[in-house]
C-alpha cells in the first residue's frame, strides 16, 4: 500500500504504511523512524511509532507550512524505497520472570483455561520470541506480539485495583509487562524484578519499538538476587544484538 | 533556592505544571503540562518569567497559599475569586505580595482552571527535564503528587528592586478570554473519520455534547447523540495528540487532554485546533461543547497569531 500522509491536529502528521498488522509493515515503520530521525529536520520535535503508523510531531513556528512538511517527509520516504535499507541491528533482550505463586496469582487460571499444567504454560510463555511493536499506554509499556495462541486467556472479569509494576500478564492474545503500578484486568502469571520504567535513570525506559524480547523463568533465589542488583544499580541486562531482518516498501 | 510559599489548604486538585515533558512520547510518557496553555502562558508573561516556567494549576476549588517571602504573582484563567489577606485582588495582572500574606480563593465564578505564576517560577525538582506533575506515573511536582497541605514550594530569591519592576503589569481587557458554559471548538478531521457513518459525522458537527462527570486532566468523556461506527470500533493503536477526539464502541466521544495516554486504539474523528484548547480546559462537567469542521491551515493561522501576540506582549512587559 502507498503510504498515506494525514494531519493529527495542527502539530503532528501521521504516516500510515499499511492497514494490517504484520512484522513487515512494522519493520518499515522502524526503518522510516531511523531515516527521518537522521534527516534532522529542524521542526520535528518527536516521533511516535505505532503498529503500522509513524506520527511526527512538529513545531509549527519552525516549519514553513503543512504542505512543505509533507513534501519533505515524502521525499525522505520515497528515497528510502529506492535505496537499500540499512538499519542498526535489532536488540534482543531477555527478561527474567518469577512465575506463579504469590507473584503470579493467575497462573492457575491460565493453565486451566489452556487445559495444561502450570509448568507447560511457563514453558510455552518462555519459548516464544516477542516483538515490541510499539510503546504506549503507560510509561515504558511495550505492545508485544508473538504469544503462543494455546495459552491465550481472556482478561479477568473484574479488574484488580492494584497491579504492581513488573507484573507479567496475559490478556486475550496479548502478553505484556506492567511498567507502572496501576489498576488492571490482565491475568497475572509472574513478576519480573527488572524495571521497564525508572525515571531516575539516565535511560528511563528499557525497551523501544523494534526490540525483540524473551522471558526466562528464574528461581525465587535468583529473583531476589536480581532485585538486590537492580537496587544497587549493578544489574546488567542480557542484551544481544542481531543483524536486522530487513524489509522494503 | 528558597521556600517561597506554603500550601495551607490544597484545594481540589492543585498541581505544578510547566510547559510539559516533551521528547518521551515514543516511550509512553505523556507531556502533561497546563490544561489551558493560554492562561498559563500569560501568567508567566505577566510576572516577567521566561516562557515555560513552572506555575500552579488549580481546578475549581483553589488552594490557600501562605507566602514565606516577598514575591510578585499573577492569577489567570478561571475566576475562582482570589483574595490576598481577605481583600479581592485583580486577575490577569502582576501583584506584589508581602511575606506573611495569604492568597485564598473563594467562589468559582467563571471557568474551571486557574493559574498562579510567581516571579522566578517554581523551582521544584525536574524529572525527565520537566517539573510538570503526572500523578499516574508519579512524575514531576513534589514526589509526583498533587500538592497537599504543608507542602512548601521552592522559588528564586529575587531582589526587591526587580520585584518592584515586575509588579503592576496588566493584560488588556480584550485579550482576556471570556469563559462561557458552552464553547464551540474547531476540529481538524482525521483520516480515521472514515470509520464512522456519514450520518454520525453530520450528527457530531451539528449537535452539542455535554461534559460528563468522568472528566479530568486525562480527558473529557462526552454525552450526547451517539456516534456510530461503520463496522469496527478498533484500530491498530497509534499516537494521539492533545485535543484528539476518539470514539470507543459505546459511541460516546472522548476528548484527550493534557494527561492523556500517548497512544490509543479507538478511531479518531479529529483533533481540536491548538488555539481552541483553552475553551475545552475551562469547561466544567455539565457544560457543553460543539464542534466545527476546520483545517490544518486554519489551525496554523491561529498558532501564528498567538505567537505574534506573545512576542508583542513580551516586548511590552520587558520595556522599562
User: Which residues contact residue B187 at a Cβ distance below 8 angstroms, ignoring those fewer than 6 apart?
Assistant: B205, B245, B269, B270, B271, B272, B273, B291, B292, B293, B294
A82 phi/psi in degrees, rounded to 5: -95, -20
Alpha-carbon distance B128 to nearest alpha carbon in chain A (angstroms): 7
* Residue B163 placed within a domain: yes
Q: Are residues B214 and B81 in the same domain?
A: no
What is the per-residue pLDDT for A88? 56
What is the per-residue pLDDT for A90? 83
Is B265:B246 a contact under the CB 8 Å cutoff?
no
CATH topology of domain A4-82: Gyrase A; domain 2 (3.30.1360)
Is B62:B105 a contact under the CB 8 Å cutoff?
yes
What is the per-residue pLDDT for A115? 97
Angle at A199 between CA A197 and CA A204, to 5 degrees: 60
Q: Are residues B122 and B73 in the same domain?
A: yes
- Which of A7, A57, A137 is nearest residue B296 as measured by Cβ atoms? A7
3-class state of residue A222 by DSSP: helix
Q: Are residues B200 and B113 in the same domain?
A: no
Q: Are residues B173 and B189 in the same domain?
A: no
Q: Are residues B17 and B95 in the same domain?
A: yes
* Residue B320 placed within a domain: no
User: Which residues contact residue B8 at a Cβ distance below 8 angstroms, ignoring those fewer than 6 apart?
Assistant: B63, B64, B65, B66, B102, B149
List, in sequence order, the alpha helices (H) in A12-135.
23-39, 66-82, 107-114, 118-127
- Inter-chain CB proximity A51 and B297 less than 8 Å: no
| A1, A10, A53, A209, best to mutate vs chain B, most B CBs in 10 Å | A10
Handedness of CA B49, B51, B54, B57 (dihedral sign): positive
Where a domain ends, among B145, B177, B209? B177
Where a domain ends, among B158, B177, B196? B177
Alpha-carbon distance A27 to nearest alpha carbon in chain B (angstroms): 15
B154/B140 Cα distance (integer angstroms):
14
pLDDT digits (tens, 9 = 90+) for B82-104: 999 999 999 999 999 999 999 99
Where a domain ends, among B162, B177, B192? B177
What is the per-residue pLDDT for A247? 47
Q: Provide mean pLDDT across the span A7-11.
A: 98
Is B197:B284 a contact under the CB 8 Å cutoff?
no
A109 vs B231: which has the higher pLDDT:
A109
When the candidates are 2.40.100.10, 3.40.50.620, 1.20.58.1880, 2.60.40.10, the CATH number that belongs to A90-242 is 2.40.100.10
- Inter-chain CB proximity B243 and A66 less than 8 Å: no
Domain count, chain B: 2
Is B272:B280 a contact under the CB 8 Å cutoff?
yes
B294/B117 Cα distance (integer angstroms):
33
- Which of B26, B241, B268 is nearest residue A135 as measured by Cβ atoms? B26
Q: Provide mean pLDDT across the span B21-39.
A: 97
Q: Are residues B117 and B213 in the same domain?
A: no
Chain A residues inside the 8 Å CB shell of B29? 139-140, 204-205
| Cell numbers describing residue B230 | 461503520
pLDDT digits (tens, 9 = 90+) for A163-182: 999 999 999 888 999 999 98
Chain A residues inside the 8 Å CB shell of B299? 9-10
B11/A144 Cα distance (integer angstroms):
41
Band (pLDDT 50/70/90 cuts) for residue A159 is confident
Alpha-carbon distance B225 to nearest alpha carbon in chain A (angstroms): 23
User: Which residues contact residue B216 at a Cβ distance below 8 angstroms, ignoring those fewer than 6 apart?
Assistant: B13, B259
Q: Evaluate if residue A240 carries a pLDDT over 60.
A: yes
Host domain of residue B19:
2-177
Question: Would you list the domain boundaries of chain A?
Answer: 4-82, 90-242
Residue in B closest to A26 by C-alpha: B236
- Which of A7, A200, A204 is nearest residue B188 as measured by Cβ atoms? A7
- Inter-chain CB proximity A9 and B271 less than 8 Å: yes
Q: How far apart are the two ends of chain B, measured CA to CA in Å? A: 27
Is beta strand B182-189 parallel, antiparallel or unpaired with respect to B288-293? Answer: parallel
Q: Are residues B263 and B205 in the same domain?
A: yes
β partners of residue B257: none
Chain A residues inside the 8 Å CB shell of B23? 45-46
Q: Are residues B113 and B187 in the same domain?
A: no
What is the per-residue pLDDT for A184? 87
Q: Are residues B277 and B159 in the same domain?
A: no
User: Among residues of chain A, what percentage have pLDDT more than 90?
Assistant: 78
A171/A186 Cα distance (integer angstroms):
5
| Cell numbers describing residue A90 | 535489532
pLDDT digits (tens, 9 = 90+) for A112-157: 999 999 999 999 999 999 999 999 989 999 999 999 999 999 989 8
Q: Provide mean pLDDT across the span A10-23.
A: 95
Q: Provide mean pLDDT across the span B235-261.
A: 96
| Cell numbers describing residue A199 | 525515571
- Inter-chain CB proximity A45 and B237 less than 8 Å: no
**Chain B residues touching chain A at CB-CB below 8 Å:** 22-29, 127-128, 136-139, 188, 190-191, 236-244, 261-263, 268, 271-274, 296-297, 299-300, 303-304, 307
Pairs across A and B, CB distance < 8 A: 142
pLDDT digits (tens, 9 = 90+) for B158-184: 999 999 999 999 999 999 999 999 999
Q: Residue B192 sits in a domain of what CATH number?
A: 2.40.100.10
Q: Provide mean pLDDT across the span B193-200.
A: 97
Q: Provide mean pLDDT across the span B195-211.
A: 98
User: Among residues of chain B, what percentage have pLDDT more than 70?
Assistant: 100
pLDDT digits (tens, 9 = 90+) for A178-232: 999 988 889 999 999 999 999 888 889 999 999 999 999 999 999 999 999 988 8
Amino acid at each position: 500500500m502507498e503510504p498515506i500522509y494525514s494531519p493529527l491536529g495542527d502539530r503532528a502528521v501521521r504516516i500510515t504504511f499499511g492497514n494490517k498488522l504484520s512484522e513487515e509493515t512494522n519493520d518499515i515503520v522502524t526503518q522510516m523512524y531511523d531515516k527521518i530521525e537522521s534527516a534532522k529536520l529542524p521542526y520535528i520535535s518527536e516521533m511516535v511509532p505505532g503498529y503500522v503508523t509513524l506520527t511526527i510531531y512538529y513545531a509549527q513556528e519552525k516549519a514553513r507550512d503543512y504542505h512543505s512538511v509533507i513534501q519533505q517527509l515524502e521525499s525522505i520516504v520515497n528515497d528510502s524505497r529506492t535505496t537499500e535499507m540499512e538499519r542498526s541491528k535489532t536488540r534482543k533482550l531477555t527478561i527474567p520472570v518469577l512465575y506463579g505463586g504469590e507473584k503470579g496469582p493467575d497462573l492457575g487460571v491460565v493453565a486451566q483455561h489452556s487445559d495444561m499444567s502450570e509448568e507447560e504454560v511457563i514453558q510455552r510463555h518462555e519459548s516464544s520470541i516477542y516483538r515490541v511493536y510499539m510503546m504506549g499506554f503507560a510509561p515504558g509499556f511495550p505492545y508485544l506480539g508473538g504469544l503462543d495462541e494455546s495459552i491465550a486467556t481472556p482478561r479477568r472479569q473484574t479488574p484488580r485495583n492494584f497491579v504492581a509494576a513488573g507484573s507479567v500478564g496475559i490478556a486475550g492474545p496479548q502478553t505484556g509487562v506492567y511498567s507502572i503500578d496501576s489498576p488492571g484486568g490482565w491475568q497475572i502469571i509472574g513478576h519480573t524484578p527488572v524495571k521497564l520504567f525508572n525515571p531516575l535513570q539516565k535511560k528511563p525506559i528499557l525497551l523501544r519499538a523494534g526490540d525483540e524480547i524473551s522471558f526466562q523463568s528464574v528461581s525465587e533465589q535468583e529473583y531476589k538476587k536480581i532485585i538486590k542488583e537492580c537496587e544497587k544499580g549493578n544489574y546488567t541486562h542480557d542484551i544481544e544484538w542481531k543483524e536486522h531482518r530487513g524489509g522494503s516498501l | 533556592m528558597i521556600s517561597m510559599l506554603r500550601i495551607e489548604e490544597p484545594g481540589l486538585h492543585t498541581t505544578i505544571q510547566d510547559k510539559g515533558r516533551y521528547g518521551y512520547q515514543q516511550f509512553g510518557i505523556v507531556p502533561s503540562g497546563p490544561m489551558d496553555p493560554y492562561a498559563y502562558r500569560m501568567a508567566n508573561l505577566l510576572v516577567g518569567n521566561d516562557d515555560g516556567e513552572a506555575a500552579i494549576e488549580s481546578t475549581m476549588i483553589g488552594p490557600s497559599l501562605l507566602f514565606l517571602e516577598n514575591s510578585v504573582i499573577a492569577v489567570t484563567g478561571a475566576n475562582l475569586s482570589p483574595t490576598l489577606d481577605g481583600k479581592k485582588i485583580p486577575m490577569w495582572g502582576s501583584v506584589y505580595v508581602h511575606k506573611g500574606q495569604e492568597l485564598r480563593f473563594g467562589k468559582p465564578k467563571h471557568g474551571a482552571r486557574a493559574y498562579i505564576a510567581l516571579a522566578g517560577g517554581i523551582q521544584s525538582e525536574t524529572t525527565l527535564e520537566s517539573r510538570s506533575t503526572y500523578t499516574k506515573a508519579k512524575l514531576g511536582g513534589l514526589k509526583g503528587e498533587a500538592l497537599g497541605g504543608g507542602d512548601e514550594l521552592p522559588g528564586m530569591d529575587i531582589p526587591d528592586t526587580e520585584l518592584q519592576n515586575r509588579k503592576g503589569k496588566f493584560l488588556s481587557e480584550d485579550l482576556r478570554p471570556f469563559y462561557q458554559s458552552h464553547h464551540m471548538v474547531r476540529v481538524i478531521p482525521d483520516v480515521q473519520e472514515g470509520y464512522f457513518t456519514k450520518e454520525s459525522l453530520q450528527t457530531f458537527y451539528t449537535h452539542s455534547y455535554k461534559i460528563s462527570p468522568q472528566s479530568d486532566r486525562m480527558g473529557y468523556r462526552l454525552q450526547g447523540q451517539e456516534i456510530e461506527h461503520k463496522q469496527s470500533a478498533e484500530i491498530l493503536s497509534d499516537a494521539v495528540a492533545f485535543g484528539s477526539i476518539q470514539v470507543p464502541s459505546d459511541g460516546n466521544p472522548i476528548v484527550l487532554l493534557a494527561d492523556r495516554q500517548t497512544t490509543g486504539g479507538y478511531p479518531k474523528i479529529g483533533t481540536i485546533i491548538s488555539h481552541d484548547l483553552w475553551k475545552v480546559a475551562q469547561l466544567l462537567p455539565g457544560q457543553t461543547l460543539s464542534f466545527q469542521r476546520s483545517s490544518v491551515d486554519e489551525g496554523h493561522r491561529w498558532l501564528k497569531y498567538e505567537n505574534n501576540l506573545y512576542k508583542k506582549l513580551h516586548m511590552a512587559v520587558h520595556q522599562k
